[in-house]
Structure 1
Amino acid sequence: MKSAFLKSTGLAVLALSLIGGASAFAEDAPVKGATVAFLMPDQASTRYEEHDHPGFVVQIKKLCADCKVLYQNADATIAKQQQQFNSVITQGAKVIVLDPVDSAAAASMVKQAQAQGVKVIAYDRPIPDAKADFYVSFDNKAIGKAIAESLVAHLKDEKVPTADTGVLEVNGSPTDAAARLIRDGIHEGLKDSGYKTLAEFDTPNWLPSNAQQWVAGQISRFDKKIIGVVAANDGTGGGAISAFKAAGVDPVPPVTGNDATLAGLQLIIAGDQYNTISKPSEIVAAAAADVAIDLLAGKTPKAETTLFNTPSKLFVPTVVTAKNLKAEIVDKKIASAKELCGGRYAEGCKKLGIAP
């Protein structure tokens, strides 16, 4: 009887383990070998090619070794992004991570995908007119406020007069909802500063050349009244700096940035750009990959907040200036001294205590 009991118990345990294994397999089945798409908006910023895409692929492969990632960049063209969106659905993508060229136009893409059972993660730029399945980004409004407040604090430390002077505001693309959030944050950061905004500009497609052209016109218009520029990212900030240099303005007034691109960081090292925002894109990309795998598995991703009626995860930005560049960028291995300090930047690195 003892033998029979043990035998029956063993069979029961085996059955339970098989049920559990079958359950686990069933849960993993939608994920195993799945196709996900990662659609980025433009190449005006180098971050998508250098950080976001590689970071997303690395995390997806950690979580699902045989999952397939389809990557496309729309080159700032709405029609091209729509074609790419259609293409990845045709290729079997079950989750699409979308950083839209045009946040308004992307609403129809979200609805199109969801009607076919495809999940959409809004990435970096929100999609206000449609409820995506999730939104992952840094806190864009907080970014705008932080860079503006950092500039204002610097101007006050330098005792720059408020009378008959002001700042220029170089915003991002008018079709980008994230750019509008950054702009709103900049307005908030400047509101009670005592420094007036001489003029502001929404930069088509975030192109540095568009920012440079506009700033050049403002230099002719306001000349020495310009005591600073709040630029929404490193590309537009770099365009502003180029305009001042072309006009023979020396020293260049302090200019802000965002994204901590290699070019932006080197401009800070050279003393041409005042600040940027450290937001390692790999962090956001990895979070998007985690959400994608959850959605594939039929799980509900954990949201920390809601933005535009969409469950969201927003990361906190860090302001970087020459004072903390070594600690925030080099010591944290976001960029190496070797990458930053070549050629004409060697002397600036030496002053900041950064040794290649």
Structure 2
Amino acid sequence: MRRALTGAMALSLAAPLAACGSDHQDAGAGKDSIGLLLPESKAARYEKFDRRIISTRLASLCLECKVDYHNAQQQVDAQKQQFEALVKKGVKVIILDPVDAAAAKSWVDSAAKKGVKVIAYDRLAEGDVTAYVSYDNEKIGRLQGEGILAALGSQAATSDLVMMDGSPTDPNAPSYKKGAHEVLDGKVRKIVFEKDIPGWSEAKAKKEMTDFIDAHGPEGFDAVYSANDGMAGGIAAALRSAGIKNVPLGGQDAELPALQRLVDGTQSFTIYKEVRPEAETAAEMAFRLLRGKSIKSLTSTTAHNSTKSGIPARLFKAQIVTRKNMKDTVIRDGAVRTDLLCAGSLADKCKSAGLN
């Protein structure tokens, strides 16, 4: 029998904050400007959390500092133009979360030659970056694998798994995949299908899952690994349309819809990554670099991309969230509001789970 997955993955994005546009705000140039380039707005975290926290932390450190913010909406060319415009303005420190890490190399290298310091944020850009702030992404992949095995329980060794991996342009995606395989390989019977999903597209993940079900039937798999919660939403919709229930499904980011699926029993786990320490560390690094100060005390390890080693880095930890530990993780930390989590038809399930 298939076992219901009870878990919840990573970063929760539930608070009802005012949506921010993708055009720059508080723009300025020169010695007191810091560039902030985020990759997209489909994942709720970027506009609701990362942008706000970075801007707020910088304001607390430096009243005269200006944040020149842009969102690329998943368009590499748009981000290239945004980056080059910041350099042309004279901005000397840029926090960059790249749409495509490899494509960013030429911009980063060119900027570095002009004395611009680039902090790779969340995703490690290629090129001559000054510092890197993110999470231990292979560890996150291992946590995802552990979540799948826990959901399958004693039936893991006889179970077939579908894997929907992250976008091939995101340097974190191979790390998630590698970590997951380290845990899953040899522990499940077989990985019957595996696919990289461009742009972390929920619609593409739904289509791939639907096509697999159409080709192999509802009994052709026993669990689904999804690299993030957005794709897990598409996969859950495909399972629901096919009338398939109680199939373990994992994700990452602890987004509100995913946490609601945990309550509802249609997603087993997510990975919770606290945005605040990552964002505040990036902000403080940017301020120190702007003022010519050392960032050594903010870094605890080093990272490397294809052309540079020894990049000062800070990598934060993450944890598995399930319905059972949701109260002591994302709810306790204020990452999700229970009135939003338990809205509508989920009220009774929240009550039975002791969440409201």
Residue of structure 1 in register with 2:105 after alignment: 107
Structure 1 contact 258–278 (Cα < 8 Å) conserved: yes
Residue of structure 1 in register with 2:253 after alignment: 259
Match of 1:225, SS state, is coil
**Where in structure 2 are the equivalents of 1:236-251 lying within 5 Å?**
236-251=231-246
**Where in structure 2 are the equivalents of 1:296-335 lying within 5 Å?**
296-302=290-296, 303-308=299-304, 309=309, 310-335=311-336
Report deviation, 1:33: 6.4
Of the three residues 280, 289, 292, the one matched with 2:274 is 280
**Where in structure 2 are the equivalents of 1:143-292 lying within 5 Å?**
143-156=140-153, 159-160=154-155, 162-163=157-158, 165-223=159-217, 224-251=219-246, 253-292=247-286
Distance 1:304 1:318 in 2: 20
Q: Percent identity?
A: 37
Deviation digits for residues 59-103 of structure 1, max 9, x if unmatched? 111111221111111111110110111122233322111111111
Distance 1:192 1:162 in 2: 8
Report deviation, 1:196: 1.8
Structure 2 contact 31–91 (Cα < 8 Å) conserved: no
Residue of structure 1 in register with 2:21 after alignment: none
Structure 1 contact 34–67 (Cα < 8 Å) conserved: yes
Residue of structure 1 in register with 2:82 after alignment: 84
User: Which amino acid is 2:235 matched to?
Assistant: A
**Where in structure 2 are the equivalents of 1:30-69 lying within 5 Å?**
34-69=32-67
Distance 2:347 2:177 in 1: 34
Structure 2 contact 161–225 (Cα < 8 Å) conserved: yes
Distance 1:70 1:306 in 2: 27
Distance 2:38 2:189 in 1: 36
Residue of structure 2 in register with 1:340 after alignment: 341
For structure 1, list consecutive stretches of 5 or more residues without a partner in the other structure: 1-31
- 1 or 2, which has the higher helix percentage? 1
TM-score, normalised by the number of residues in structure 1: 0.86
Report deviation, 1:332: 1.7
Distance 1:218 1:65 in 2: 54
Structure 1 contact 55–283 (Cα < 8 Å) conserved: no
Report deviation, 1:45: 1.0
Moved over 6 A (4+): none
Distance 1:131 1:321 in 2: 39
TM-score, normalised by the number of residues in structure 2: 0.86
Structure 2 contact 112–128 (Cα < 8 Å) conserved: no
Larger relative contact order, structure 1 or 2 (CA cutoff 8 Å, min sep 6): 2
Q: Number of residue pairs matched?
A: 320
Distance 1:263 1:330 in 2: 14
Structure 1 contact 94–296 (Cα < 8 Å) conserved: yes
After superposing the two structures, state which structure 1 stretch, 312-321 or 302-311, moved more. Answer: 302-311
